[in-house]
Structure 1
Amino acid sequence: MTEAPRPLRPLQVSSEPRDLQSLQLKSGLAAEVISAPDPLKKRAICSQCRIRKVRCDGRPNFCQNCDRLGFECSFQQLPGKSPGQYMVKLPERRRGTQACIPCHSKKTRCLGELPSCSSCVRRNRVCSYPRAKRYASSSSHARDSVESIQSPAGEASPAPDIGIVGSTEVPELDSATTMDLMEDYFRHLYPLPSFAFLHKPTVLQRCKDNTINRTLKLSICAITALQLQRTSLCHDIWIQQAEQSILQQIGRASIFHLQALLLVIRYRIESGEFPTAFMLAALAARTALALRLNYERPELSDVAQEARRRLFWALYLLDDFFCVGLREFELCPEETIHLRLPCDEIYFETGQHVHTGLLRPEASKTVDPIGIRGAFLRLASVRRAVMRFNRRVGLGDELSSTIGESIRRFEEELRSLRASLGSSDQYSVSNLTSCRWQAQFLMLHMSWHQCHCDLYRLGLDGYSEAAPSPVLIAIHPRDRVAMQFKCLEHAESIIRTVSDFSDHGDSECLLERDAAVCAFESARLVMFGSRIPGALSDLDLAINKAKLSLNLITKYFPLSASTQPLRKDLERLIASYSVRLALQTQETFSEPDPPSRSTSKLSQYANSRQRLSVQSLLLQSDFVDDSNELASLTQGSESQTTTNHIHTDGQIAQVSEPASELTTMTTDTPKSLSWGAVGRTHSGNSSQAPPPSLPLDARQEDAGLIFNPWMGFIGTEDMSGRPPHLDEEF
């Protein structure tokens, strides 16, 4: 018997061309003609569920999804239509609130609160929302959308979203906005040591001609808008686009992309994304070495040579954010640098040749001229050497008999550096007010005094960064007292410089983080030293001087994520000393010893050698060693391991302990911490001052403030079992 023929599907009848009909089906931007479901299939899918890309139950006449949401289902026959033909409207969009631009770019959850979402408020970010995207509703608009995806320039454009709320429309940088931000960059950021690697006449001319590298343009505009708090601009999207462009061409080293990458790293640091900045810094160092920027190129023009030098020196200064004197984290070891120092600005702008000195002064009778920028680089080199020296002293690697000679050698080097400055670069109030680059001038002299403070605080009895007791005993009492007074004298000089700048400086100029570090450390030293007999300031005067430093940090770093821990800790310390002054206590002036670090899950040897500061950006990068998971077989075994975690705001997170130990602890028990920050823990909430009704214990008051932002605690440490053959600078 012959089998009955298979039933035919309903014929699609349409007056529209076939290509346009398929276009309508793909875009979903107009009414669609959809065939009826095939009865031979196991489950039919209505057109609404197909467009929305959700599971359809295939219920006859009306699927469950359309019934629940009140949509018009394609399974439902409409009056006046022949069987198999249904007109279906595009389903309305019913998604949640629109994400703000920062959360959208970082792919984090956004609750859409107004005027600022809770995520941005918590991270101290500028919150802004995009304009809603208007979708086309006709086939002609659909054609335009498809054509825009296939742009002739070959650049990938995002496909139109269908039925999704939260898509952002980022306006392109127009010429006027670009020129304004470029001018602002050279007016406000270029005077800073880390941003002086762009040649102003060349960059501005390329902007006018519209020939500037797009990635570099985006990064310049983004960092300028961030630093100047231009909240109406989409600088977060610009920096993301610049970063993606750099990473997409990671195998093609380009000096323009390296310039952009340094600005991206600075942006990530200022916005609190320290882990990203730390990893991108390694990429920048590799790119610089690939381009051989650490060597001179005499065959190039003078402008090109100087731009190369300045770009590498900007990368060299980046080390101060993460390595804090630790060789293992250095991006640009000095033995690999074969460059001369940058020249004065007037020579760079006009393209004139000038012969400058090297980073380490050569032993010759002729003295090569160095400008204020070159002097700052030499000073940075000396400060790092002092950091390494202090670490060796703290670890017992420096012989007591050689400490005095090393200190005298550093003193002579600092004297020579100051003598090499021209008369207009020597510190005075008149030179400060008349200097074209006030920020560079201020930071140079603050850093020079801070280098002395770092050197002399070894003899400051009771201070957290003082030398270990056996070393202090070996130093003659007369020399130890001299070190104490020299340390406090230079700290007072920093605060005096801060006061002069507040009274006579340019209130609109920007400063770099090192200025905040110097202000923070000087305030801390002056308040600590107020109890030393013969100190220049009593406690009342010392607190008022410390407030000058706090005002500088608050005024010039209001939204900087990298300096927030400094401001918070200084506020807490001033409040603590104010309580002490009110109570007129007569307690011993000392800082606590570091607690046991037996539960730290990072390398114990690395902890003792690194000792990072609580304010160190590497410490705040929130890296956790999860090596214990390599051998974990079950969830039960993982729950017994100890996990360490450091919050990005510099505070110490609670550390989980084995169950047998947790039962013996209270919630206020300080836990150990990782990355070498195990020297001190905060008691309770570090942002609050101790209650005035309770006596203030000096050993509790400074519990969270004994780390230097450059190098951390350098107290005594049990180094038994340390291999003797390791490099002393590690």
Structure 2
Amino acid sequence: MTEALRPLRPLQVSRDLHEPQSPQAGSGPISTPVSIPDSLKKRAICSQCRIRKVRCDGRPNICQNCDRLGFECSFQQSPGKSPGKYVVKLPERRRRMQACIQCHSKKTRCLGELPSCSSCVRRNRTCVYPRTKKHGTIARGNDLAGVSEADGQVAEQRSGGTSPTQGIMMIGPAQGLTLDHDVTLALMEDYFKHLYPLPSFSFLHKPTSLQRCRDQTMNGTLKLAICAITALQLHRTALCHDLWAQQAEQLILQQMGRASIFNLQALLLIIRYRIESGEFPTAFMLAALAARTALALRLNYERPELPDVAQEARRRLFWALYLLDDFFCVGLREFELYPEETIAIFLPCDEDNFEAGRHVRTGVLRPGPESRGNATVIGLRGVSLRLTSVRRAVMRFNRRVGLGDELSSTIGESIWRFEEELRFLGAALRPNEQYSAVNLTSSEWQAQFIMLHMSWHQCHCDMYRLGLDGYSEAAPSPVLLALHPRDRAGMQLKCLEHARSIIGIVSDFLNHGDGELLLERDAAVCAFESARLLMFGSRAASNLDVAIGKAKLSLKLITRFFPYSASTQPLRKDLERLIASYSVRLALQTQKAFSEPEPPSARPSTKVSQYATSRQRLSVQSLLLQSDFVDDSNEIAGPTQTTETPTLPSSMQTSFPVGVGDEVLAGAATPRDHSWGTTGPGNSQVSPAGQSLDAGQEGAGLIFNPWMGFTGPEDMYGVSSRPPGPDDEF
């Protein structure tokens, strides 16, 4: 028997919630007065809190929020005003915290500390806060960047007397966000003085560009990009170059469908800005856009109908874009944006001819065998581009050797062919362009002069280090055993000789060169590699002491000329670690098992190239290793699927060492943790094919080569993940 439930009736509440109902007011079982809880009573909300959408406590006369913030509360009754006719004055918009300009542009968290936030201090950046005076407008970077004084006056007239820059107050070193004409002209002159001598920045015609800047007829996007990259490279912290770069990038993206030679020049400078400021993923994506724009403008073909200045400017712009591949692809064809077989333009001419507008026929990138005997003069820039092409070919050759795709019988012939190409390039230089300390001091283009000769010697080092037994980038043990001992010893001697030549150039430049010059990253790469080779090759304690001293010269070059370059910091940090490791070895006098110092401990990575084979392994020269691309393909299946990475076959398992600058370097495999190797007698490894692997090479570790990257089990042992095919280079 169930008890009957009494149906509930709605609560009858009178219009006055504070007055209890009379028992005779209605019929029903409820005959006692009802007490309404305070939580159910309707609370009055002032107009200010209603507009601001915040909780109001309903305090009479003035609520707590308006009292605390100093607002005029609608609960206040001024004398002479009748109820119901109160005019609401909108409150001033206030913000609790303002992010600095750097954190705002990079979309990172800013804690708002003064005078500099912790994020900018940690990254060694200039911290600038946009602040407004009372009753002023909110300062936004996109609205301020590129706003000249005349533009501000026009905007003031259109907005009824309120200028976009009215009320702006900067906190920090920067005191201005606008592009003043005098500042623009000064930065333009600094560009041609400091950046133009470098191969990657020599595509602007100096007389025409300076004249347009003086006349204020220069393309606005290009002007912003030039000022931004110049201020960054010269470390002009008082200028808001990050806002200029951001504004130029947005203008380029807005006009992405309309190809323009000026926008492409600006885009190239913005890519270099992103590289030097450490924004490698953005630079990588923008580089693809630049390649598409260059092809749309057909820059890889000659335009004989154009004036000589315009034609040469097109050539130089394309060659500057061609050099970008060394930052990302480094010989991997899948990342190349400008394949050499698609290039049908001549090499750049000398600076004097370019400025004067004279037409000079220079030659093509890869001359045929019939033109090898004619040592035509093509200038420093032309030789540098040809040398870049040869270095890429050498790197692809080294990859084939490491994978076991190059026959041992053809290695000597390939090296001889590269030697002939390099000898031909040396013969193409004028007498005053041949290297000597006197020519270095008297050279008008010192930066380009030393970078060319360092790169020429480094190309030899890249070839000959295949014969360095125990070196991490040496040829696999079966290949080394197939080489004649005399040839192998000759390769070792030549490799160390060219490394010493690079250190000699570094020493001459530090002692007699212009200390205010800017250098490109490849100079740091060559200095790093030569120091590493010399320390490895100095087996005796006395020689090691000398080698460490020469390595410190390379470190001095990198520290002095690349103090703020984000793309070069990994080289500096790893060279410091190598010098410290070899110094400890020298102090302990332990030369028994000579090999390179051990790399940092390995840890797993979630980078995009985690499952890349050794054929796709990126080098440290490629800035993709320092990018933060993450493969989120596992999210396609939805949240119900497991997010754990499936176990790969042992032949594909790859672990990733912590590389330079505490970055996890993608695509690098550690040879110590592979599952198929077995330990044999004498601390040697035995591969699946039964080939003995010497302990010196196994102990070489994973020290990287900036043009070849880390070596993994496949690279070191010649075991390929797939059979060789006709398109191995791709």
Q: Report TM bin, short chain.
A: 0.7 to 0.9
Which residue of the partner structure matches residue 595 of structure 2?
A: 590
Which residue of the partner structure matches residue 86 of structure 2?
A: 86
Asked whether the equivalents of residues 327 and 621 of structure 2 are also in contact (C-alpha less than 8 Å), the reply is no
Cα distance change on mapping 1:75 and 1:564 into 2, 3 Å: same
Distance 1:681 1:174 in 2: 59
Alignment of 1:120-139 (within 5 A): 120-130=120-130, 132-133=132-133, 135-136=135-136
Instruction: Tell me, yes or no, if structure 1 residue 377 matches structure 2 residue 368.
Output: no
* Secondary structure at the counterpart of residue 590 of structure 1: coil
- Structure 1 or 2, whichever has the larger Rg, is 2
Distance 1:252 1:192 in 2: 29
Q: CA deviation at 1:367?
A: 4.7
Which residue of the partner structure matches residue 29 of structure 1?
A: none
Distance 2:433 2:670 in 1: 40
Amino acid at match of 1:100: C
TM-score by length of 2: 0.80
Cα distance change on mapping 1:296 and 1:615 into 2, 3 Å: closer
Question: Deviations for 1:126-150, whole angstroms, at most 9, x for unmatched residues?
Answer: 323345445359xxxxxxx999769
Asked whether the equivalents of residues 603 and 657 of structure 2 are also in contact (C-alpha less than 8 Å), the reply is no
Distance 2:298 2:44 in 1: 64
* Secondary structure at the counterpart of residue 643 of structure 2: helix
Which residue of the partner structure matches residue 247 of structure 1?
A: 253
Residue 708 (structure 1) aligned to one of 705, 710, 715: 705
Distance 2:352 2:280 in 1: 35
Cα distance change on mapping 1:71 and 1:681 into 2, 3 Å: farther
Residue 524 (structure 1) aligned to one of 518, 521, 532: 532
Instruction: Tell me, yes or no, if structure 1 residue 235 matches structure 2 residue 241.
Output: yes
Residue 651 (structure 1) aligned to one of 646, 650, 662: 662
Alignment of 1:26-45 (within 5 A): none
Which residue of the partner structure matches residue 314 of structure 2?
A: 308
Which residue of the partner structure matches residue 258 of structure 1?
A: 264
* Secondary structure at the counterpart of residue 638 of structure 1: coil
Which residue of the partner structure matches residue 356 of structure 1?
A: 362
State which drifts further: 555-564 or 610-619. Answer: 610-619
Amino acid at match of 1:651: D
Q: CA deviation at 1:613?
A: 3.1
Cα distance change on mapping 1:78 and 1:568 into 2, 3 Å: same
How many percent of aligned residue pairs carry the same amino acid? 75
Cα distance change on mapping 1:652 and 1:101 into 2, 3 Å: closer
Q: CA deviation at 1:626?
A: 1.7
Distance 1:497 1:179 in 2: 35
Asked whether the equivalents of residues 591 and 699 of structure 1 are also in contact (C-alpha less than 8 Å), the reply is no
Q: CA deviation at 1:547?
A: 0.3
Q: CA deviation at 1:725?
A: 3.4
State which drifts further: 360-369 or 496-505. Answer: 360-369
Asked whether the equivalents of residues 592 and 699 of structure 1 are also in contact (C-alpha less than 8 Å), the reply is no
Question: Deviations for 1:152-184, whole angstroms, at most 9, x for unmatched residues?
Answer: 69xxx979999xx99x99632111000100000
Distance 2:672 2:45 in 1: 61
Structure 2 stretches lacking a partner, 5+ long:
1-41, 138-150, 648-653, 674-694
Which residue of the partner structure matches residue 225 of structure 1?
A: 231
Which residue of the partner structure matches residue 104 of structure 1?
A: 104
TM-score by length of 1: 0.80
Which residue of the partner structure matches residue 554 of structure 1?
A: 559
Distance 2:553 2:638 in 1: 53
Amino acid at match of 2:469: D
Instruction: Tell me, yes or no, if structure 1 residue 452 matches structure 2 residue 449.
Output: no
Amino acid at match of 2:382: G
Which residue of the partner structure matches residue 638 of structure 1?
A: 643
Instruction: Tell me, yes or no, if structure 1 residue 544 matches structure 2 residue 549.
Output: yes
Question: Deviations for 1:70-128, whole angstroms, at most 9, x for unmatched residues?
Answer: 64322432333222333556645653444322112223222233443211122232323
Cα distance change on mapping 1:719 and 1:585 into 2, 3 Å: closer
Amino acid at match of 1:101: I
Cα distance change on mapping 1:591 and 1:631 into 2, 3 Å: farther
Asked whether the equivalents of residues 622 and 645 of structure 1 are also in contact (C-alpha less than 8 Å), the reply is no
* Secondary structure at the counterpart of residue 300 of structure 2: coil
Which residue of the partner structure matches residue 22 of structure 2?
A: none
Which residue of the partner structure matches residue 482 of structure 2?
A: 474
Cα distance change on mapping 1:96 and 1:242 into 2, 3 Å: same
Distance 2:189 2:625 in 1: 35
Which residue of the partner structure matches residue 199 of structure 2?
A: 193
Which residue of the partner structure matches residue 417 of structure 2?
A: 409
* Secondary structure at the counterpart of residue 277 of structure 1: helix
Asked whether the equivalents of residues 499 and 548 of structure 1 are also in contact (C-alpha less than 8 Å), the reply is yes
Cα distance change on mapping 1:455 and 1:492 into 2, 3 Å: same
Which residue of the partner structure matches residue 621 of structure 1?
A: 627
Asked whether the equivalents of residues 193 and 440 of structure 1 are also in contact (C-alpha less than 8 Å), the reply is yes
State which drifts further: 385-394 or 53-62. Answer: 53-62
Asked whether the equivalents of residues 466 and 474 of structure 2 are also in contact (C-alpha less than 8 Å), the reply is yes
Structure 1 stretches lacking a partner, 5+ long:
1-41, 138-144, 654-672, 683-696
Asked whether the equivalents of residues 252 and 267 of structure 2 are also in contact (C-alpha less than 8 Å), the reply is yes
Cα distance change on mapping 1:147 and 1:334 into 2, 3 Å: closer
Which residue of the partner structure matches residue 566 of structure 1?
A: 571
Distance 2:282 2:513 in 1: 34
Asked whether the equivalents of residues 280 and 627 of structure 2 are also in contact (C-alpha less than 8 Å), the reply is yes
Cα distance change on mapping 1:407 and 1:630 into 2, 3 Å: same
Which residue of the partner structure matches residue 119 of structure 2?
A: 119
Alignment of 1:266-305 (within 5 A): 266-305=272-311
Q: CA deviation at 1:679?
A: 3.6
Asked whether the equivalents of residues 609 and 667 of structure 2 are also in contact (C-alpha less than 8 Å), the reply is no
Cα distance change on mapping 1:186 and 1:159 into 2, 3 Å: closer
Q: CA deviation at 1:151?
A: 7.0
Question: Deviations for 1:244-285, whole angstroms, at most 9, x for unmatched residues?
Answer: 000011100000000000000000000000000000000000
Asked whether the equivalents of residues 619 and 650 of structure 1 are also in contact (C-alpha less than 8 Å), the reply is no
Distance 1:187 1:280 in 2: 27
Which residue of the partner structure matches residue 442 of structure 2?
A: 434
State which drifts further: 542-551 or 620-629. Answer: 620-629
Amino acid at match of 2:437: V
Distance 2:422 2:344 in 1: 22
Asked whether the equivalents of residues 228 and 241 of structure 2 are also in contact (C-alpha less than 8 Å), the reply is yes
Which residue of the partner structure matches residue 669 of structure 2?
A: 678
Q: CA deviation at 1:585?
A: 1.1
